[in-house]
Amino acid sequence: MSTQIRLAGVTKRFRSRAALSLVSAEIGHGVTGVLGPNGAGKTTLLRLVATALQPDTGELDILGYDPAAADGRLAIRRRLGYLPQDVGMYSGFTVREFVDYVAILKEITDRNERRAETDRVLDEVGLGDRAGQRIRSLSGGMRRRVGLAQALLGNPALLVLDEPTVGLDPVLRLQFRELVSRYATTGTVLLSTHLTEDVAAFCQTVLVIEGGQLIFAGTPAALTSMADGRVWTSAGPDAGSELSWRGADGRYRHIGDPPPDAELLSATLEDAYLLTIRSLPAQAVRR
């Protein structure tokens, strides 16, 4: 794996709160998903990689450039497509005006080239026929697609997408996976999500963050294997399990030690993720 993003001992604090603590990771080509509960530090990690923030301590290397240096930041930004969690969109813009505005900020200054590129990315996200529509009249899912469209401008080598599938219906999520997978054949995609199914479906690597700390980095299969032998099913509830819930078939699914009369099940990525989050040592959760 050729490393595209390297974090070494990265810490970022907001006032007294540590959003990320001593995070070290190496990320290569393809799609890398960042999983974690709300407030775990996913957005902070993505903003650091997108050069929207600088770490308090530690080092970053992104696409071979140092974001701490002005020329390194500029080089990264020229190769970056970024979808923030909250895309600021002036509601009076049309879809085309918004994407066109971002295209200028991305240094696509030739009018014809900008027009062609805007058309291309809007077609990519299925909004070619909505180009003249005002942002204020779009649904949440459509706004998310407009946000994704601007991130694709200029075929960036690095796509950083913060919660890209929020607001997308199942069909659109499938189209999104197809689109991102296509980009990832030649580039690097780092996306955050709280949906394990997204990660299981198309991420080659997964990072799990909790309480500002990186608690897992590896393949989805490796994460899933952490729950092997720890997922059970039985007819009744079990107070001794770490997690236990009643499934659609009426039987109970347990994660942890086996309850009486239970059968072993194949673990899923979600089981492993829940187990990973639940089994953190106390000192890792507290800051």
Partner 1 sequence: MTYPSGEPGVFESNRHPCRVSIELLREYVSGRLGASAAGALELHLIACAACQQGVAAAGGADANERARHESTWARLALDIEPAPAVAERLAIRLGLPPHVATLVASAPPLRTAWVLILTALLGLSVLAAYMGQGPAGTLAFLVLAPIVPVIGVAIAYGQVGEPVGELAGVAPYPAFKVVLLRTMTVVTAALVPAIPLSFLLPAVGPSHLLLWLLPAVAASTTTLAVATWIRPERAAAFTMLAWLAIAAPSATRARFLSSDELIARLPLFQPAAQVMFVTVAVLAVIVVVHRRALLGGDPGLGGLP
- Site residues, partner 1 (CB under 8 A): 14, 50-54, 68, 70, 73-74, 77-78, 80, 82, 84, 86-90, 92-93, 97-98, 100-102, 104-107, 109, 111-112, 114-116, 150
Neighbours of 122 (CB within 10 A): 22
- Cβ atoms of 147 and 166 closer than 8 Å: no
Cβ proximity to partner 1, 110 vs 169, nearer residue:
110
Cβ proximity to partner 1, 87 vs 215, nearer residue:
87
Q: What is the helix (H) or strand (E) element at residue 213, kind and residue range?
A: strand 213-218
* Smallest separation (angstroms) from partner 1 to the CB of 95: 13
Cβ proximity to partner 1, 91 vs 219, nearer residue:
91
Helices (H), 32-94: 42-49, 70-77
Q: Which residue has the tokens 């899912």?
A: 141
Cβ proximity to partner 1, 59 vs 238, nearer residue:
59
Neighbours of 282 (CB within 10 A): 6
Cβ proximity to partner 1, 100 vs 271, nearer residue:
100
* Smallest separation (angstroms) from partner 1 to the CB of 283: 25
Cβ proximity to partner 1, 116 vs 285, nearer residue:
116
Query: What are the structure tokens assigned to 250, written together?
Result: 């009426």
* Smallest separation (angstroms) from partner 1 to the CB of 244: 38
* Smallest separation (angstroms) from partner 1 to the CB of 88: 2
CA 263 to each of CA 4, 48, 52, 79, 230: distance values in angstroms, whole numbers, following the listed order:
43, 44, 49, 50, 10
Q: What residues contact residue 128 under an 8 Å CB cut-off, 6+ apart?
A: 119, 122
- Cβ atoms of 205 and 219 closer than 8 Å: yes
* Smallest separation (angstroms) from partner 1 to the CB of 2: 24
- Residue 205 Cα to chain centre, angstroms: 11
* Smallest separation (angstroms) from partner 1 to the CB of 82: 5
